[in-house]
Amino acid sequence: MSAGDPGDRLARAFARARAEGRPALLPFFPVCWPERDATQEIVRAAVEGGADAIEFGFPFSDPLADGVTNQRAYEEAIANGATLERLFAASADLRAQDVRVPFLIMGYFNPLLAYGAGRFVRDAAEAGIDGLIVVDLPPEEAAEFQALARAAGLHVVYLLAPTSTDERIARVARAASGFIYCVSVAGVTGLRAELPPALPELIGRVRARTDVPLVVGFGISAARHVREVGRIADGAAVGSAFVEVIREAPRERRAERVREFVRGIAGRDPAAPGAD
């Protein structure tokens, strides 16, 4: 595989965060947004700010799990001409610049199916992608795709929610690779003032069945949320709040704002935006 060993990159990211006594931070934003050529600059700035991994959102016209912030960004990215080819080109370019943090693609199955599952996993691996978070692909329907992905050295990350039954948690735990994405709420992505009080119960139910790292997402909007997550899980995915920072920043100051936000929400810079 031309992009190195993806499994090691993801495992190392969690191991490093664990050794430092903090949760790994995984910012999410759509590729080809706000401009078609903005992806590389945003990733470099996020990594400079302390991001442990990057989730590339691949735009889809019917993102059922996403709230209005991400839906709007997806629509604009589609209008910009977002394609999987452009995502792979951006990833390969970043790898050529020696950006070493794990890259994950987060999206929906329909565009992957249209691209061709075998072609998709091959091109993703060659571009330096480490894992795939396919929101609407449950493990019961994923055997063929998961086999292709794992043969290419890619993790397939499944989601669990507060409504997940013990049977579903056990099934996901058996299939888990890389980490399990624990959705904090029974709802869509978006900014939230507080994390749900039932979140520790969900994490406890999942942790009882697996030692795979657990990442919490949906509603992680401030440094205090990341600290709360760090007490019970291994990582925090920051989506809508990160997307809003990118949207509101003037392009000439975008890299600076992204670095400041990531430092702040990770708790590395108490004076930075996002640190509260």
In which band, very low, low, confident or very high, does the pLDDT at 187 lie, cut at 50, 70 and 90?
A: very low
Q: Are strands 24-30 and 54-57 parallel, antiparallel or unpaired?
A: parallel
Name the active-site residue from 5, 35, 52, 66: 66
Task: State the pTM of this model.
Answer: 0.92
The alpha-helical segments, DSSP class H, found in 138-212 are 143-151, 166-175, 199-207
Looking at residue 213, its amino acid is: P
The pLDDT of residue 271 is 59
Q: How many residues would you count in the chain?
A: 276
Average of pLDDT values for 222-226? 94
In which band, very low, low, confident or very high, does the pLDDT at 188 lie, cut at 50, 70 and 90?
A: very low
**Is residue 66 flagged as an active site residue?**
yes
**Is residue 55 flagged as an active site residue?**
yes
Average pLDDT, the chain: 91
Sign of CA dihedral 150, 95, 10, 41: negative
**Is 189 within 8 Å of 69 (Cβ atoms)?**
yes
The pLDDT of residue 256 is 98
pLDDT digits (tens, 9 = 90+) for 157-182: 999 999 999 999 999 999 999 999 99
Quick one: DSSP state of residue 106? E
Residue 183 main-chain phi, psi, to 5 deg: -75, 125
**Is 58 within 8 Å of 82 (Cβ atoms)?**
yes
Sign of CA dihedral 41, 184, 177, 19: positive
In which band, very low, low, confident or very high, does the pLDDT at 64 lie, cut at 50, 70 and 90?
A: confident
Residue 83 main-chain phi, psi, to 5 deg: -140, 160
Return the exposure string of 106-140: e unless at least 16 CB atoms fall within 10 Å of the residue's CB, then b.
bbbbebbeebebeebbbbbbbbbbbbbbbbebebe
Q: Which two tokens stand for residue 114?
A: 């249209």
The pLDDT of residue 65 is 67
The pLDDT of residue 193 is 54
Give dist(CA 248, CA 194) in Å, integer: 22
Tell me the chain's radius of gyration from C-alpha atoms: 17
**Is 220 within 8 Å of 184 (Cβ atoms)?**
yes
Name the active-site residue from 55, 123, 234, 269: 55
Average of pLDDT values for 66-83? 91
Strand partners, 106: 57, 133
- Is 186's pLDDT higher than 70? no
Give dist(CA 124, CA 79) in Å, integer: 23
In which band, very low, low, confident or very high, does the pLDDT at 219 lie, cut at 50, 70 and 90?
A: confident
pLDDT digits (tens, 9 = 90+) for 105-149: 999 999 999 999 999 999 999 999 999 999 999 999 999 999 999
